[in-house]
Amino acid sequence: MQWLPRAARRYPLVAITLVVGASAIGAAVAGAGGAARWLCIGWAAIVVVVQGVGMVRDALRGRWGLDILAITAIVATLLVDEYVAAIIIVLMLTGGEALEDYAAGRAKRELTALLERAPQRAHRELPGGELEEIGADDVRVGDVLLLRPAEIVPVDAELLSEHAVVDESSLTGESLPVELAAGDRLLSGSVNAQLAVRIRATATAAASQYQSIVQLVQQAAESRAPVVRLADRYAVPFTAASLVIAGIAWALSGDPVRFAEVLVVATPCPLLIAAPVAFMGGMSRAARHGIIVKGAGVLEQLAAVRTAVFDKTGTLTGGAPTVERILPVGGLDADELLTLAASAEQYSSHVLASSIVLAARERGLPLREAASASEEATFGVVADLGGRSVVVGKLAFVRGHAPEAEEAALASGELAIYVAIAGRFAGAIIARDPVRPEAADTIAALERLGVHDTVMLTGDAWPTARHVAEELGITDVRAECLPADKVEAVHALERRPVLMVGDGVNDAPVLAVADVGVAMGAKGATAASESADVVITLDDLSRTSRAVRIGRDTRRIALESIWLGIAISVGLMLVAALGAIPATVGALTQEAVDLVTILWALRAIGRGGGPAGPRGPSSASAVADGAVTAR
């Protein structure tokens, strides 16, 4: 019974209404019917004043909601001395807040669970081998931590032990345990399995993956559900229709009680409560599948998407190209070419640069520090290494420094990174970045959902772009785009709303201007995630189509809840207009209508449990024939 005082403090109007009702019943049983009558009338009048003030304030702001209908019903029942019905309507109106709060809590339980699981403590290893317990916020980059069995990883870290198994389901929605080896990255918020392991912090708590997701979830939970706007669209016509039916019933019967009886069953709680619960349920369902929707309004936009735009590298492709061949010219050997290229590319943020640096490290080649380095976004990088200018990037970019640079002969699915040293062409590095196995299925799924227009925007060269587009069936391709070009291209698209999917820092501007920006955030693309409306925490492109499907399901269920409430209320109003439903019975009946519509709205949560199966669809796509060239 300890919950009763807390509930009373949280919902004082409900608590007072219950006390008034109980007191009125007691007075009536004791034979003091007059006292019971005036007690109910007095409290109902106070509620009318309190709610009426709020209604007037909303009206002055230009928001015409459904409160006017409930207040009119209370006033009407008081005027015809149906004070029992009046107090029941007051309970329904004030209890709607508590009922909505409970239903919304049920709907957003996955979001709440994510917030409650934020890492709090860490065990830092001291130089002498002792351990000290510190707060997660006190961990610094480079600290060696001991992670005990079943403990939450406090910060993003690198695994020092030979082997570990972690549960990343709270971050990614992936239900299967993830096996890691020494040197692999651990995400904060994941849960260690049965063995204690040593890890090295690579980020502070504030900069770690889990905290960034928590911030996104908080933004989502605090957003105003579009369903409130959706319900408001029906407020004025529903209120007008209810008053017309009630007026006609009064006019035909000549009995003012009939007016009150009609309005009692027309109270608008289904629109006020069920629709917001549906959208919160949709957000919860998305979170369960590793899709963080930043605001409930995004779900309504997702439901209406007509055009899908994709970045290429890291989005349609795996984003982790591997070096296949090294083609030096001018007397350099392969290792020297790779060393110089990697030494320059370490100053670039492009995904291909990371691949070249990784290839050099895997070969044990030492990288050299540059006296200066500059990058031209999506084209290449220029670095001063030991007095020599090293240029790495696209063929056209390198030709600007070494006009004799020649295009490399490429096999199916390969791409080339060109190198010039001291103004002379030095060769090419050939890499391969295969299309994601789930990419084709994702585009097909979007087509089935009614998103018939798909576009690919990329900074890569035209041959690379055409190859990927042909493999996936994308007909609208824009290649060799700078970030500003991508923004302009999205602005120019006519079939809206437009959904844009990207993963890199250079995608942040276009994600921000799209109607719905979706960031593939599993690899920690912070700038992209902050600019996007939706963040996919699982490295799985198919979650894009799942997000659209959840948006459409949620909006459909919200509309069904609204129309179900309207249909039942109109039916009851027509029956009440014939004098078949007394005011008190009508008030009780309307409570049942509320419950039915809320239960219907909770269907938006979907089935329990996380996503089953592997990280992506089982089908794999082969690399089509044709040579490609890219940055």
The pair phi, psi for residue 466, each rounded to 5°, is -60, -40
Of the candidates 489, 458, 452, 454, the residue with the CA atom closest to the CA atom of residue 475: 454
What is the C-alpha separation between 453 and 497, in angstroms, rounded?
A: 11
Q: At what angle do helices 462-472 and 439-448 cross, to 10 degrees?
A: 60
Q: Residue 491: which residues within 8 A CB-CB, separation 6 or more?
A: 513
What is the C-alpha separation between 204 and 156, in angstroms, rounded?
A: 7
List 429's β-bridge partners, or say none.
326, 417
Q: In the annotation, is 311 catalytic?
A: yes
Of the candidates 375, 379, 421, 424, the residue with the CA atom closest to the CA atom of residue 402: 424
Decide: 551 and 285 in contact? Cβ < 8 Å: no
Q: What is the three-class DSSP state of 558?
A: helix
What is the C-alpha separation between 73 and 587, in angstroms, rounded?
A: 10
Q: At what angle do helices 33-60 and 67-79 cross, to 10 degrees?
A: 150
The pair phi, psi for residue 420, each rounded to 5°, is -125, 140
What is the C-alpha separation between 150 and 426, in angstroms, rounded?
A: 53
What is the C-alpha separation between 184 and 202, in angstroms, rounded?
A: 11
The pair phi, psi for residue 282, each rounded to 5°, is -65, -40
What is the C-alpha separation between 441 and 439, in angstroms, rounded?
A: 6
What does each C-alpha distance from 147 to 23, 133, 524 come to in angstroms? 58, 11, 22
What is the C-alpha separation between 327 and 37, in angstroms, rounded?
A: 95
Write the DSSP assignment of 251-273 as a string of letters.
HHH--HHHHHHHHHTT--HIIII
Residue in the block written with tokens 């109007």: 13
Residue 50 CB neighbour total at 10 angstroms: 12
Sign of CA dihedral 11, 14, 17, 18: negative
Both tokens assigned to 324: 């296949």
Residue among 67, 143, 156, 311 flagged as catalytic: 311
Both tokens assigned to 322: 């591997």
Cis preceding linkage at 497, omega within 30: yes
Provide the annotated active-site residues: 311
